[in-house]
Amino acid sequence: MIVAANLKTNLTRKETREYVNAVENFALTNSLTQDIFVFPATSSLDTFETKVTVGAQNAYAVQNGAFTGEIGLDHLDEFGIKTILIGHSERRHILGETQELIAQKFNYFKELGFTIIYCVGEPLEKREAGTERMMEYIDAQYEGIDTNYEKLIIAYEPVWAIGTGLTPTNEDIVAIHTELKKKSLSPLLYGGSVKVNNAQEIMALENVDGVLVGSAALKVEDFCQMVTFAEELDKLV
Ligand code: 13P
């Protein structure tokens, strides 16, 4: 199972270090074997000596250059970062990233051998327009993306479930994940209002290979608890 924390625009560099250390210590103390990812804010990136995989929430598809406000490969290399989130709905919908730009980033970091957590998901009006329309919308988010890339992890995150406390029903999650597995056999995470009280149930669903957690992961004890759930589920398989 994969358990990932997207820290978004939270936690300073010092707080992030404490966070990663706490997760690392928890995993070691409890001999946890799950794949744990943490995505800190850009200015909190650093060199971490840890088994937790620390990745970037974003970077521009360039080594360096004149792209004000962005970071490039040099900035990731400085900290040995080889993992990146691409296509997150906040970057698509708040920062206005187009599918073309997203595919460009994907291909750039793929060529460099990065592990890519690639996010897809529909806004509420697309869901309400019916399954066909919704799947068309999600299909378009696969344009220009190599779904056979061996270091690809996909995260299905319905936009309306992110940060709202709302989640699709378990049946809906299974239905969409089953559809998405037809497009790519890569590990498929669910994200959107995953909390301690629903993480276990969601991770146990068919075709769910883990979770990508936002706000609930900010409390490190809760995030660690979710890693424990993943470990327990793995033992049942
Ligand atoms: P929340 O867990 O806060 O809904 O955020 C999910 C998310 O966007 C993870 O990338």
Q: Going residue by residue through the chain (237 aa), what tens digit of pLDDT does each one get?
A: 999 999 999 999 999 999 999 999 999 999 999 999 999 999 999 999 899 999 999 999 999 999 999 999 999 999 999 999 999 999 999 999 999 999 999 999 999 999 999 999 999 999 999 999 999 999 999 999 999 999 999 999 999 999 999 999 999 999 999 999 999 999 999 999 999 999 999 999 999 999 999 999 999 999 999 999 999 998 777
Question: Token digits for 98?
Answer: 């187009």
Residues sharing a CB contact under 8 Å with residue 224, sequence separation 6 or more, in sequence order: 22, 23, 26, 27
Q: How far is the CA of 95 from the centre of ligand 1 (A)?
A: 16
**SS3 call for 163:** coil
CA 126, 131, 137, 138: dihedral to nearest 10 degrees? 120
- Phi, psi of 85, deg, nearest 5: -90, 130
Cross-strand partners of 115: 83
What is the reported pTM? 0.97
Question: How many angstroms separate the CA atoms of 81 and 74, rounded?
Answer: 10
Q: How far is the CA of 211 from the centre of ligand 1 (A)?
A: 10
Q: Write out the catalytic residue numbers.
A: 88, 157
CA 195 to ligand 1: nearest atom: 2
